[in-house]
Chain A
Amino acid sequence: MRLVVNKIFLALSIFSAIIGLAFLGWILTTLFIKGLSSFHFSLFLNDLIDGGLRNLIVGQMILAGLASLIGIPLGMTAGIYIQEYGQGRYASIIRDLSDIMMSAPSIVIGAFVYAVVVVPTGGTSGWAGAIALAIMMIPVVINTTDSMLSLVPRELREAGIALGASKYKVIIDIVIKAAKVGIMTGILLAFARIIGETAPLLFTSETSNYFSLNLSESFPSLTVSIYDLANEPEESSRDLAWAASFILTVLVLIINLSGRFITRNKK
């Protein structure tokens, strides 16, 4: 009897793993079939107004890139503070708050940026979108930096200080160097996460049918346009949405996998 119960339990567990993988397979297959059937290289050459995706892909990259430029330095220095400088309560409160912010609803971040950036500046803009994404990114970078720095052995820091290096020299030249790979992986994963975000961009950057590099007006966003296109009745719009989703997912998965690959090589 015990053995039967054991068998049933193991079977159920394996079955649920199969269900999980089946969903992954189902979603990816759908994406590949629908995405590839409407995929064409001219999508990279035309803007949305001419039935292509060029402006959207470039726009999304710029938004996520700009968010990284804002978010990575802030997140890393904050992580360094928590791990290297902060003593006692304040640092641990910041760590806890950053953990909470990491799971905060992204749409609420969007509403916040709408209130503090979009309303005062008089309209949606690329800047607002990038700021919203940066706010999403900061806690993830803090978390990675914090936990990667904590893995660096104490002796390394002590050796540096014994040689007469000042603390920031030790941090920049020794501690960060030692934790470089881990931090880079974390940043790549954070980048993969924000580049697929839609909700924080809906009312901050919105989207645009035209190619634009002007960050002070509504800015083309791949994800927001996918949402718009997918809800349109015409078959052609929806096909375009599938092609865009396919490109987005491939991009996210490549970034994600390369992040994992870097860590694996290190080990």
Chain B
Amino acid sequence: MEKIFQKLSLASASLVFVLLIGIFITLFSAAKPAIDEFGFDFITNSDWNKEVVLDSPDTLESEDSIGVDDDMIDDEDDLILDEDDDMLLDDEDEAVTKTIYGGLVPIVGTLLTTIIALAFALPIAMGIAVFLAEIAPKNISNIVGIAIELLAAIPSIIFGMWGLYYFAPIVADLVGGYQVSLLTAGLVLGVMILPFMAAITRDSMNTTPAVLKESAYALGATKFEVIKDVIFPFSKVGIIGSIILALGRALGETMAVAFLIGSIFVLPDAINDPTISIPVAMANNFGEASGLGESALFYLALILFIISFAVISIAKFYFLKKAK
């Protein structure tokens, strides 16, 4: 019995290992056709689902025919040329056009929404953390703390709906531009990671020994000075770890962003232009995709998985371990 129980628990623990490796291998093999086809150019190419004509002799011919001045003849020429094209198509193999997929737009969209979210959430989250850890009396800190944690428990799809119908119109009125845009998506994402970031930053700040704070107060330091010169240096590593962890969450968030980003594969010219992010590209296109398109989505998933894996590892193992 003892042996069975031990083996069983070892098996469950190993399942985590198997799952992570399994996810990686599955994503990689599903992305393999797209990786073979596009290689690393995928990351720098901004065209998604675009038909491109492969180089063939008929493109030269049609360029020659442009010089004809009479419209009628031109049309006839085109008609003839079209037939020629078709003939050529039949003569050569069918794959004269091919569909190309590039991941630049969703990758940029993911990074930019995360940066906007972070820029918005960071100062507010720090303020809340300071308030909870140092300013508020114990009972208020408890109540506000629970409220903030409840905000973190609200499903992300609710943030998305609220963002689209109530928050985005106000932002669009203030800033101008579209209601669905990089900016509104980033801000709603910021509201979403705010409580998470505030809660774990507060926990880091709370690790500062009371003795250190008390000695600073005894020397006549103000609250601000204690926070700036005692608490912050002491818990700095932990706070940075918390911020990066929140960043990891933001990178992979789907639903809050899906409502607001606009879901078009176009690089944004301005902060209030619509675009797309990796999770949203997957959420909206997975159903219809097949073949190379599906593989390209898996390629995006693989990239997202690797980025967030790296970000979370850095937060956990470098900063948060050191903080302990």
Contact = CB atoms under 8 A, between A and B. Distances in A.
> Are A and B part of the same complex?
yes
Interface of A: 2-3, 5-6, 9-10, 12-17, 19-21, 23-24, 26-27, 30-31, 73-75, 77-78, 80-82, 84-86, 91, 93-94, 96-101, 103-112, 114-116, 135, 138-139, 142, 166-168, 171, 189, 192-193, 196-199, 202-203, 223, 226-227, 230-231, 238, 241-242, 245, 248-249, 252-253, 256-257, 260
29 contacts: A6-B222, A16-B126, A16-B128, A30-B166, A31-B158, A31-B162, A77-B8, A78-B9, A86-B13, A91-B13, A96-B317, A97-B17, A98-B16, A101-B16, A101-B19, A103-B248, A103-B252, A107-B304, A108-B252, A111-B27, A112-B27, A168-B2, A196-B155, A198-B155, A198-B156, A198-B255, A199-B279, A202-B283, A253-B154
A234 B162 CA distance: 17
A115 B259 contact: no
Contact of A107 (B123, B227, B283): B283
Interface string B277-307: 0010011001100000000011001001100
Contact of B2 (A23, A112, A167, A249): A167
A226 B23 contact: no
B135 A13 contact: yes
Interface stretch (B35-43, B66-74, B144-152, B211-219): B144-152
Most buried by B among A14, A105, A226: A105
B100 interface: no
Given A23-B194, A26-B166, 15 more contacts: A5-B222, A6-B223, A16-B128, A24-B151, A86-B13, A99-B316, A100-B20, A103-B249, A104-B308, A114-B286, A199-B156, A202-B283, A226-B161, A231-B259, A253-B153
B212 to A, nearest CB: 18
B9 A77 contact: yes
Contact of A241 (B22, B151, B161, B297): B161
Contact of B26 (A20, A27, A77, A112): A112
Contacts of B157: 196, 198, 223, 226-227, 245
Given A27-B154, A108-B252, A21 B147 contact: yes
Contacts of B245: 103
Contact of A106 (B22, B165, B254): B254
B128 A17 contact: yes
A100 B316 contact: yes
Contact of B6 (A85, A93, A223): A85
Interface of B: 1-2, 5-6, 8-17, 19-20, 22-23, 26-27, 30, 123-128, 130-132, 135-136, 144, 146-148, 150-151, 153-162, 164-166, 191, 194-195, 198, 222-225, 227, 245, 248-249, 251-255, 258-259, 279, 282-283, 286-287, 297-298, 301, 304-305, 308-309, 312-313, 316-317
Contacts of A75: 12
A99 B317 CA distance: 10
Contact of B254 (A19, A30, A107): A107
Contacts of B301: 107-108, 111
